[in-house]
Each structure stands twice: as structure tokens, then as C-alpha cells.
Amino acid sequence: MLLARLIPRPASIPTLLKMSINNGQKAKITAASIAATFKQDLVENIVPSVSKQIARKPKLLGILANADEPSRLYAESTKKACEEIGVEFVFKTVGSNKAEEKAQPSDVEQAVLEANMDDTVDGIMIYYPIFSQAEDSYLQQTVSPIKDVEGLHFFFRFNLYHNIRYISPQSLLSGSSPALSSSPTLAAEEEESSGKVKAILPCTPLALVKVMESIGVYNQVLPYGQRAFGKTICVINRSEVVGRPLAALLANDGARVFSIDVTGIVEYTRRAPSSQDSTMPAWHPRHITKQSSLSLKECLGLSDVVISGVPSEKYKIETSDLKDGVIAVNFSSAKNFQPDIRDKASIYLPSIGKITVAILQRNLLRLVVYRNRLQDDKQN
């Protein structure tokens, strides 16, 4: 089944990593080596099949409305990556992109609404930040869920936080999230056989989860949805775009997560399913949070994995505070780990950009398949 092939199997751990672990050496791994497993599957199987279904190349529209150089570089790298796998990328500039002639929110909103109505556009992404947090949050909600490759619409965010992993394709048109379910713990095979499809998740948090799967942090012997059980993970970043959803994803998979930001430390853990009775369906088993009394140093010392994304070159994690053999992952453009991190870490991944782009492409192709299914259902 095509949908089942949209995520490479866990066995696709890079050969170099497996060899390093088997030889008892420190693993040397790059984002490119992990992304390669996705890219190969996209190029050889998924993109050709999807393109055949819709009789054209899948199209992704990128909207840039600021003078931010990192955003422009990210857009250019995304365009190149899409062209490499056979996806059309259209880059739309809104406004002049000059700092003194900044685009207006209404201009960006109009560009999004037009793309929502364009049947040749399969996915929409906007390069944030642009305006204030409130204005940018509003723009995230104007992207139709059926075209939201970044998974930032409230529809997807609600599902993520409530650990709702499968949705009906029809719900992508209404944007209506089910808060409750009469069967919250169905196996993946049962969900798919019932006609449901996987929900879209935000690119960078999901990319980090895929890193955890690829390097063996997730235990594939355990049942799906519990494979991070027994792991303690520290996430230094609690933004609504990356840090908070990442902490929820990891906790929903069973990990104990310390979420760190300037306001303090919050601990995320998975709660058990609620008790069921005959009148109310059950909540999905999902994470709960509580304020932590531990210090950052204590959290770092307890953590098997430390993931950091602080956008400041001045912020550095003290290597001496980390556990021997820690897995260290950096997703900010700034390097948050000190140069001697390789002496302490069993695995160090300084960036994940290529994996994030691969997840973006995978989200796009999922949405193409979902929309095509809806069109087929409508015709029948």
C-alpha cells in the first residue's frame, strides 16, 4: 500500500551507524545519511506513483514575505531538494522583501487564500517569522489542512497534543478534530483498514523523532506508541513550532521529557488511558505536564538524549553536565554544544536540516494521496 510506504521502515538505520555500534566505537552520523533513506524511497517509489495518480508532478508553493536571509536560503535549499526527487517547487515572493518595505499581513493572507483555491497547488508553506507571533499564528490557520505540509494548523496541532494519530480524510476538509474516541488504542493496521490515514505532523519535531528511531533511541521491540519507554530526554526549546510539540510527541511515545526554556522546566510524561464507562468514550492516552523542581544541570545529568535548539551563538551547554555516552542533537542554526561534545557523546548530530526537508516532502506526498482519495470518493 502506498500510504504504508510513506515512512521508511525502522530497519533503514544507516550502515555506518550499525557498524560503529557493533564495533563498540562512537557512531559518526550525519543528517544526510538519515535523510538518504527517505530520499531513496521518495525517488524510487513514492514520487513516481503519486505523479502517475495525478498525471503531473506534485507541486509545493513556498511563500516568502520577509527580508530574512536564513528564510531565503532555506527556500532555495528546499527548491533544490524538491527538484532532485521530481517535485515542482514554486517560490512566491510577497512584498518587496526590503526591510523598509515589509509586506502586510493582508498580502500574505491573500497569497495563501489564492493557493488554497488553486487545484494545481498540492502543498503550501510559509517562511516564518514574518510579523508578530499573533499575526503569524493567524496566518498558520489560513492554510487549508489539506495543503498544510508544515502541520501548523490547529487541526493538526490538536491531534498531536491529544495523541490522535489517525484521522478520516474527510476531516481534512472540515478541519474538525475529534477530542474523544471510542477506540483510542487501536493498532496501526486496524486504523488503516478502517479507512483512516495518518495525521500530518510538524516537520522539525517529526524529523527529530525520526532521528530517535534511526539511531536506536526508540526500541522497536516495544509496541508502537510506547517505543521511547525508559528513555529520559531533555529538550532545550519550548517554542510552539518545535520544542513543545516535540516534547509531546516523545512523551506520547513513553519517554520522560524535560522541556527547558527561559520560563523554567516542565516535565512531560505519558498518562494512562482514562477509565471507560458506558456513557463516555475514552480520551486517547496522551502526555501530561508538571513543573519540575530539578535544575538544568540535574536534568542534563539524568538525560540519555539532549536535544537543543536555542537560536543564539552565546548559548552553550556545559559538556561536563552531560551523562557519559549521551546522544546530543542540535537543531538550531546556532551551535549550542561546546566543541568537546564529541569527547562525551556516543552520538552527536550537529544539524537536522536535510531530514526536516525530507519530512516536508513526505508530508506533501501524503496530502496529495489524501486529496486524490477524497476526489475519488466524491466521484464514486
User: Is the omega angle on the peptide bond into residue 129 within 30 degrees of 0, that is, cis?
Assistant: yes
What is the pairing mode between strands 88-93 and 59-64?
parallel
> What are the pLDDT digits (tens) for 328-362?
999 998 999 999 999 999 999 999 999 999 999 99
- Rounded to 5 degrees, what are φ and ψ at 59? -120, 130
One DSSP character per residue, 215-257 reads TT-S-TTSPTT-TTTT-EEEEE---TTTHHHHHHHHHHTT-EE
Does residue 234 have an active-site annotation?
A: no
Given a contact cutoff of 8 angstroms between Cβ atoms, the answer to whether 71 and 127 are in contact is yes
- SS3 assignment, position 314: coil
User: How many CA atoms are closer than 13 Å to the CA of 347, on its beta-carbon side?
Assistant: 24
**pLDDT of res. 99:** 52
- Rounded to 5 degrees, what are φ and ψ at 274? -70, 160
* Domain extents in the chain: 38-201+355-379, 203-273+282-352
User: How many CA atoms are closer than 13 Å to the CA of 242, on its beta-carbon side?
Assistant: 19
**pLDDT of res. 370:** 95
Q: State the cell numbers at 237.
A: 526549546
Given a contact cutoff of 8 angstroms between Cβ atoms, the answer to whether 128 and 352 are in contact is no
| CATH classification for the domain delimited by 203-273+282-352, as one of 3.40.50.300, 3.40.50.720, 3.40.50.2000, 3.40.630.10 | 3.40.50.720
**pLDDT of res. 273:** 62
Would you say the pTM of this structure is higher than 0.95? no
Question: Which residue, among 251, 204, 258, has the nearest Cα to 236 in the 3D structure?
Answer: 258
- Rounded to 5 degrees, what are φ and ψ at 354? -65, -30
**pLDDT of res. 28:** 65
* pLDDT averaged per 10 residues, the chain (length 380): 46 44 60 92 92 94 85 88 95 72 88 96 94 93 96 94 91 69 53 81 97 96 93 97 97 97 96 56 75 98 98 96 97 94 96 95 96 82
**pLDDT of res. 144:** 95
**pLDDT of res. 7:** 44
Helix count and strand count (H, E) for the chain: 14, 12
**pLDDT of res. 26:** 60
**pLDDT of res. 212:** 97
Given a contact cutoff of 8 angstroms between Cβ atoms, the answer to whether 130 and 136 are in contact is yes
Q: What is the CATH topology of the domain spanning 38-201+355-379?
A: Rossmann fold (3.40.50)
Given a contact cutoff of 8 angstroms between Cβ atoms, the answer to whether 71 and 93 are in contact is no
Q: What is the CA radius of gyration of the chain?
A: 21
Q: State the cell numbers at 214.
A: 534511526
Give yes or no on whether 38-201+355-379 and 203-273+282-352 have one common fold: yes
- Residue 321 and residue 300: Cα distance in Å, rounded? 6
Task: State which amino acid sits at residue 368.
Answer: V
In the set 82, 203, 234, 299, the catalytic residue is 203
**pLDDT of res. 125:** 96
